[in-house]
């Protein structure tokens, strides 16, 4: 069984709690330590209970709470070799790219590179007794390698950052719009939906939309876009945008 709690997901800060067969993990520490601590209490967990932390990349919305949180953690922190060099003061451990690596008893993680404008940016596939789980945000674009790595995961957290029309007509300056729309920016609702259909045809039963933009997206639009792409498929997929106030369990 896995349990997932979105502590925060978006430009204001990212942190996910992931519990797999009793092992407790955190993905990113992009919120104040107090916010993360309070969220963990809702699932009966403390910083000292965490078995491993995985950092996707070093943009501030993914590591903002690292310095303070690290003081209360007794577990290893994993990230890519490039990110580890930047995070050196916090004693991170490099995780290999493209091959399984045990981060907790019975949990093997395969890291994959993401097309994002931050050196060393990665996502994760978790393999464990009973299934597989995927985590892919800050993508820029969905590459064939990511598709193949996450193929067969029963549950995937997938970026659905923006609605393209909302972004193009919105208040962001042109340079920022161009960055977000580029292959090293963020994944749109439409690209997310296309990827969701691929994953649904290859075993995914639960899809969690993540890293939604407050200015250029909304949960209803993201959900509708994903569900529209999935409705004609001969499979059933639960599509959710995780809230920060309750955990979701997947049997």
Q: How would you class 102 by CB atoms within 10 Å of its CB: exposed for 0-12, middle for 13-18, buried for 19 or more?
A: exposed
Give me the chain's average pLDDT, please: 93
CA distance 10 to 186: 11
The reported pLDDT for the residue numbered 83 is: 97
SS3 174: helix
Joined together, the tokens standing for residue 58 give 């070093």
SS3 content of the chain, % helix, strand, coil (to 5): 30, 25, 45
Q: What global pTM score does this model have?
A: 0.94
What's the distance, CA 121 to chain centroid? 12
In this predicted model, what pLDDT tens digit does every residue of 64-123 receive, in sequence order? 999 999 999 999 999 999 999 999 999 999 999 999 999 999 999 999 999 999 999 999
The answer to whether 78 touches 55, Cβ cutoff 8 Å, is yes
Look at phi and psi of residue 171 and say left if phi exceeds 0, alpha if psi is from -120 to 50, else beta.
alpha
In percent, the amount of the chain with pLDDT more than 90 equals: 85
The reported pLDDT for the residue numbered 235 is: 78
33-41, long-range: CB < 8 A, 24+ apart:
33/65, 33/68, 33/69, 33/72, 35/7, 35/8, 35/65, 36/7, 36/65, 36/69, 37/72, 39/5, 39/7, 39/15, 39/244, 40/7
The reported pLDDT for the residue numbered 27 is: 98
CA distance 5 to 113: 24
Say if residue 32's pLDDT is above 60: yes
The answer to whether 125 touches 153, Cβ cutoff 8 Å, is yes
The residues pairing with 124 across neighbouring beta strands, listed in sequence order, are: 111, 135
The answer to whether 81 touches 94, Cβ cutoff 8 Å, is yes
Taking domain 2-250, whether its CATH number is 3.40.50.300 is answered by: no
The answer to whether 189 touches 160, Cβ cutoff 8 Å, is yes
CA distance 116 to 43: 31
The answer to whether 114 touches 107, Cβ cutoff 8 Å, is no
Mean pLDDT of 7-16: 90
Mean pLDDT of 136-141: 93
Q: What is the crossing angle of helices 219-230 and 189-200, to 10°?
A: 40
The reported pLDDT for the residue numbered 240 is: 78
Domain boundaries of the chain, sorted by first residue: 2-250
């Amino acid at each position: 069984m896995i349990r997932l709690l979105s502590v925060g997901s978006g430009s204001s800060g990212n942190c996910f709690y992931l519990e797999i067969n009793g092992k407790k993990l955190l993905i990113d520490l992009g919120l104040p330590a107090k916010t993360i601590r309070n969220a963990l209490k809702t699932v009966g967990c403390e910083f000292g209970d965490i078995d491993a932390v995985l950092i996707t990349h070093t943009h501030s919305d993914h590591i903002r709470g690292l310095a303070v949180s690290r003081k209360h953690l007794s577990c290893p922190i994993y990230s890519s070799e490039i990110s580890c060099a930047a995070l050196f003061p916090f004693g991170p451990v490099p995780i290999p790219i493209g091959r399984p690596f045990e981060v907790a008893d019975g949990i093997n993680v395969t890291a994959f590179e993401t097309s994002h404008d931050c050196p060393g940016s990665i996502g994760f596939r978790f393999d464990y007794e009973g299934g597989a789980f995927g985590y892919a945000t800050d993508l820029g674009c969905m590459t064939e390698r990511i598709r193949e790595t996450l193929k067969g995961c029963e549950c995937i957290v997938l970026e659905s950052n923006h609605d393209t029309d909302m972004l193009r007509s919105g208040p962001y300056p042109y340079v920022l719009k161009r960055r977000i729309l580029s292959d090293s920016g963020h994944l749109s609702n439409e690209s997310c939906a296309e990827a969701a259909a691929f994953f649904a045809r290859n075993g995914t039963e639960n899809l969690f939309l993540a890293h939604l933009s407050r200015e250029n997206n909304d949960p209803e639009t993201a959900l509708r876009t994903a569900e529209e792409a999935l409705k004609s498929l001969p499979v059933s997929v639960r599509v959710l945008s995780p809230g920060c106030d309750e955990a979701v369990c997947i049997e």
